[in-house]
Amino acid sequence: MSPATVSRVLNKPELVEPETKERVRGAIKALDFQPSAIARGLSVQRTDTIGLVVPGITDLFFGELYRGIERASHESGMKVLLFDAQHARHRAFEGFTFLRQHRVGGIIFTSKVVSEDYDPVLERIGIPVVLALTEATGRTALPAFKVDDVKAVFDAVAYLVSRGHRRVGMITGDMSDDLTGDLRLQGYRAGLEHYGIPYQSSWVETGDYRFTTGYQAMRRLLEHQEQNQLTAVCAASDEMAIGAIRCLHDHGLKVPDDFSVLGFDDLGVAHMTVPALTTIAQPFAEIGERAVQQLVQMIADDTIHASGTYYLPHRIVERESVRALSDLS
Amino acid sequence: MSPATVSRVLNKPELVEPETKERVRGAIKALDFQPSAIARGLSVQRTDTIGLVVPGITDLFFGELYRGIERASHESGMKVLLFDAQHARHRAFEGFTFLRQHRVGGIIFTSKVVSEDYDPVLERIGIPVVLALTEATGRTALPAFKVDDVKAVFDAVAYLVSRGHRRVGMITGDMSDDLTGDLRLQGYRAGLEHYGIPYQSSWVETGDYRFTTGYQAMRRLLEHQEQNQLTAVCAASDEMAIGAIRCLHDHGLKVPDDFSVLGFDDLGVAHMTVPALTTIAQPFAEIGERAVQQLVQMIADDTIHASGTYYLPHRIVERESVRALSDLS
């Protein structure tokens, strides 16, 4: 069977004998059902590309993470293929298969917790997977890079207490989100407990990390402000913190003179607002870089076996949205 | 030649006769050098995926565009593969080839102007290409979806004039950028001319569309404020407008009481700031949707020949950063 015959079957099947067609198509089918074999045989490009499954490309934090992924990929001579899961669980699954079909050498996954229902997919694809901003809770242990969310919000409370605040509220993420929603609330409760401040459910409101829900959560907190007498609020995201600032502004309260607001993330927008946002910075770019470096190493070592959650350090970035109560009272 | 033989050559070549190996590898090579033939023969998936070349994934405007691309792709049952050109011209070229190798059915390109140096690439890849937020100026005519930048900034000036402003400055984009930098400045000059306001070069400063350069451009404008007596400024992007507001704030000037600022884009952040930004809205999501619909149609029609620049309507979104001078003076 000559190359010309194969080409003819594919391009001008009407010119080819049925039996020859049959044989060539059989061979093609064999190739098609051996994707890893094809990859080994045909494509040395394969280890030049890493795949990236993201929850939603339009999330502001993803942009920050991507800066690090871009930098480290560039340094390693890697191309990046992105798959946007559009905040849908089944799409995140699809992402693995899709990227595998596109012969990426490995995958960085950055979405919700990788729980046990991912195990069959992870076993099937057989290429290295590294997690960024998330963790694996299933049977398959995977290397993960993130901050310690509990510790980060604990430190946020400690910072506010050090600035004289004790009546500190919280705008948390979705509690059913066991990745950040629940952990950040745990950090808040641990912080209050550490400083002997009783936890009160009326001090906590929930949002979905976006501006609008931050605004609404702050409005609900203000409804009980007469009893609560809060002087500060921690938000579980910068966007919710900015929403809270806008809400306070609309209610005639100045930040930080009348009320202090602390964010979480340190997105690009955190320094653009008036007042600029004091916030817990996640080292997004470094998390992206470290995840790529880990993946590149696993591809080079031809291994899918690595694990461990690496907590990268968060830090408090002081800008203008928190004031020290002792300055004025 | 049986499928099993092909598989054996790929997986266990040591078990295969040299001559057989030779023949199989010849056939594989033929397949490899006929990528479109492979695609037709092996993969009915091919027309299920569109490629997207973007200047930089972290650009805020890209997120807005992507919402529309996502929605329309989802509706058409298309998957999207992204390639990030990282603001580098040679990477944008690479994007076409890379996505082609990954067998996408067509490409949406959203970066700088597609000038004549793209012609050889466009001829080689042989799949439909649609432009979003940009235009083709080379030999290869391509369908494009964008706003009329000249008209948009003309309308911005008209709006400010209608609010009593005549001493209107401009923070423009890079003039060497013939896509938006030059066009938006043209719109500004045409607007001034239309209302009989003499153009003065000291009323114009340049930035790169980002927050920091907007801040710096505003600072330079304020250095000549004693002579210029500007009451308002148009910025060629929301980020630069927000930078200008921050600069005015740091110089003790309140927006809009002391100075009015008009943005361009209507990004998500435009409503998050205090004051919320009055701005020229680009219909990013609609541009993304229309580009996908056009591309899907071309893939269905199996044609690469289509052209025409479609100007989608911009509009002025009134928020809080522009005041009517007649209210107070």
The tens place of each residue's pLDDT in chain B, 329 residues long, gives 555 565 555 555 666 676 776 666 666 555 443 333 334 334 444 678 999 998 888 888 888 999 899 999 989 999 888 888 878 878 888 888 888 888 899 999 987 778 888 888 888 888 999 999 988 888 888 999 999 999 999 999 999 999 999 999 999 987 666 667 788 999 999 999 999 999 999 999 999 999 999 999 999 999 999 999 999 999 999 999 999 999 999 999 999 999 999 999 999 999 999 999 999 999 999 999 999 999 999 999 999 888 889 999 999 999 999 999 975 44
Distances in Å between the alpha carbon of B303 and those of A10, A204, B54, B105? 20, 57, 23, 11
Distance in angstroms (rounded) separating the CA atoms of residues A71 and B111: 20
Contact check, Cβ <8 Å, A34/B9: no
**Tokens standing for residue B154:** 């003309």
pLDDT in tens, B41-63: 344 446 789 999 988 888 888 88
Distance in angstroms (rounded) separating the CA atoms of residues B263 and B277: 7
- The shortest C-alpha distance from B33 to chain A (Å) reads 10
Per the DSSP assignment, residues forming a β-bridge with A205 are A171
Question: Rounded to 5 degrees, what are φ and ψ at B205?
Answer: -130, 155
CB atoms within 10 A of CB A315: 14
Distances in Å between the alpha carbon of A236 and those of A221, A228, A239, A265, A279? 15, 20, 9, 8, 10
Let me know: does B253 contact B313? Beta carbons within 8 Å: no
Distances in Å between the alpha carbon of B154 and those of A76, B106, B159? 46, 35, 9
The length of chain A, given as a count of residues: 329
Contact check, Cβ <8 Å, B81/A86: no
Test mutation, B71, B81, B102, chain A, max A CBs within 10 A: B81
pLDDT in tens, A136-159: 888 888 999 999 999 999 999 999
- The shortest C-alpha distance from B218 to chain A (Å) reads 14
Q: Buried (b) or exposed (e) across B58-92, using 16+ Cβ within 10 A?
A: bbbbbbbbbbbbbbbbeebebbbbbbbbbeeeebb
Question: Which chain A residue's Cα is nearest to B52?
Answer: A82
Test mutation, B246, B272, B320, B321, chain A, max A CBs within 10 A: B272
Distance in angstroms (rounded) separating the CA atoms of residues A138 and B51: 33
Task: Give the model's confidence band at A101: pLDDT under 50 very low, under 70 low, under 90 confident, else very high.
Answer: confident
Of B4, B10, B66, the CB nearest to A41: B10
- The shortest C-alpha distance from A81 to chain B (Å) reads 6
**Full 3-state SS string of B125-158:** HCCCEEEECCCECCCCCCEEEECCHHHHHHHHHH
Domains and CATH numbers, chain A: 3-35 (no CATH), 45-147+284-313 (3.40.50.2300), 149-281 (3.40.50.2300)
Of B74, B82, B272, the CB nearest to A82: B82
Q: What percent of chain B has pLDDT over 90?
A: 58
* Whole-complex ipTM: 0.78
Let me know: does A79 contact A103? Beta carbons within 8 Å: no
The reported pTM is: 0.82
pLDDT at site A176: 66
H/E element holding B170?
Answer: strand B168-172
pLDDT in tens, A276-306: 999 999 999 999 999 999 999 999 999 988 8
Alpha carbons within 13 angstroms on the beta-carbon side of residue B23 total 14
Q: What mean pLDDT is reported for chain B?
A: 86
Q: What mean pLDDT is reported for chain A?
A: 86
Q: Is B309 helix (H, G, I), strand (E, B) or coil?
A: strand
Tokens 């929403």 locate to A243
In terms of C-beta density within 10 A (0-12 exposed, 13-18 middle, 19 or more buried), how is residue A124 classed? exposed
- The shortest C-alpha distance from B197 to chain A (Å) reads 32
Question: Which chain A residue's Cα is nearest to B4?
Answer: A30
Find, among A176, A231, A245, the residue nearest to A208 by Cα: A176
Q: Which residues, in sequence order, are CB contacts of A250 under 8 Å at separation 6+?
A: none
